[in-house]
């Protein structure tokens, strides 16, 4: 059922309501009855919404709209000074999955100083990179090996592994030289790439021990 003008005003107010439950219902309403009039406010709200579950609903609502309506404002958000706006736009682009967004996944985003933005960029790269070009983002992402805490490292490993076998040479090079943290992270990612059933958290801890003992171990061969 289409959203009337009066209902549209209520939806817009709902998206800005102080209560998370009201914002959630408003986002759900727009997603259930897509209307390009609301794309702008949905994108804008993504950049400031404090609640994860509401942001998730906003993203879902955007995926329900035509790509030609959602892509331009999302791409603009990638240049926002607000980290949340950049990160949520990247997350939404990865959910939409339109490959025409690939050129916007820049080195600056893949190396963003904000961990949340970088993680979203890595996931977006894994989804949007054209077949045969996987080594391009892999080379940039490999430079981030060893970065951040456990969550960030796990996210980078998963995104690199999602790029497939084309990243093996990049990871092997990273495992052979550089900072111990980066070498260990590369070794663990190689192990998961070669054995998708391997536990990534355990692989990272094991790789740290291997590097500390002064060798790459079997994982890097």
Confidence at residue 196, expressed as pLDDT on a 0 to 100 scale:
80
State the average pLDDT over residues 197-215: 77
State the average pLDDT over residues 199-220: 69
Rounded to whole angstroms, how far apart are CA atoms 154 and 40?
Answer: 33
Asked whether residue 1 carries a pLDDT value surpassing 70, the answer given is no
Confidence at residue 6, expressed as pLDDT on a 0 to 100 scale:
52
State the average pLDDT over residues 173-186: 89
State the average pLDDT over residues 55-75: 97
Classify the C-alpha dihedral 57-97-140-200 as positive or negative.
Answer: positive
Structural domains in the chain, CATH included, are 1-107 (1.25.10.10), 129-221 (no CATH)
Lowest mean pLDDT, pick from 17-21, 34-38, 198-202: 198-202
Confidence at residue 145, expressed as pLDDT on a 0 to 100 scale:
95
Query: Per residue in 131-170, pLDDT tens?
Result: 999 999 999 999 999 999 989 999 999 999 999 988 999 9
Confidence at residue 101, expressed as pLDDT on a 0 to 100 scale:
97
- Mean pLDDT, the chain, rounded, equals 90
Lowest mean pLDDT, pick from 22-31, 51-60, 80-89, 177-186: 177-186
State the average pLDDT over residues 184-199: 86
Closest CA relative to residue 90, chosen from 103, 105, 112? 105
State the average pLDDT over residues 30-41: 93
Query: Per residue in 107-134, pLDDT tens?
Result: 999 999 999 999 999 999 999 999 999 9
**Against a cut of 0.85, is the pTM above it?**
yes
């Amino acid at each position: 059922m289409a959203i009337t003008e009066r209902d549209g005003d209520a939806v817009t107010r709902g998206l800005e309501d102080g209560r998370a439950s009201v914002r959630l219902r408003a986002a759900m309403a727009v997603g259930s009855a897509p209307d390009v009039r609301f794309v702008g406010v949905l994108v804008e709200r993504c950049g400031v919404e404090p609640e994860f579950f509401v942001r998730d609903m906003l993203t879902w609502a955007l995926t329900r709209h035509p790509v030609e309506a959602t892509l331009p404002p999302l791409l603009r958000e990638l240049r926002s000074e607000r980290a949340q706006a950049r990160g949520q736009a990247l997350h939404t682009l990865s959910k939409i999955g339109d490959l025409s967004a690939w050129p916007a996944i820049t080195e600056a985003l893949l190396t963003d100083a904000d961990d949340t933005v970088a993680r979203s960029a890595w996931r977006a790269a894994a989804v949007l990179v054209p077949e045969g070009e996987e080594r391009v983002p892999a080379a940039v992402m490999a430079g981030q090996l060893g970065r951040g805490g456990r969550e960030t490292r796990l996210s980078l490993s998963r995104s690199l592994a999602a790029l497939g076998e084309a990243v093996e040479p990049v990871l092997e090079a990273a495992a052979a030289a550089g900072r111990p943290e980066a070498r260990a992270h590369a070794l663990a990612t190689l192990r998961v790439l070669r054995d998708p059933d391997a536990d990534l958290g355990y692989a990272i801890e094991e790789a740290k021990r291997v590097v500390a003992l002064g060798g790459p171990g079997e994982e890097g061969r």
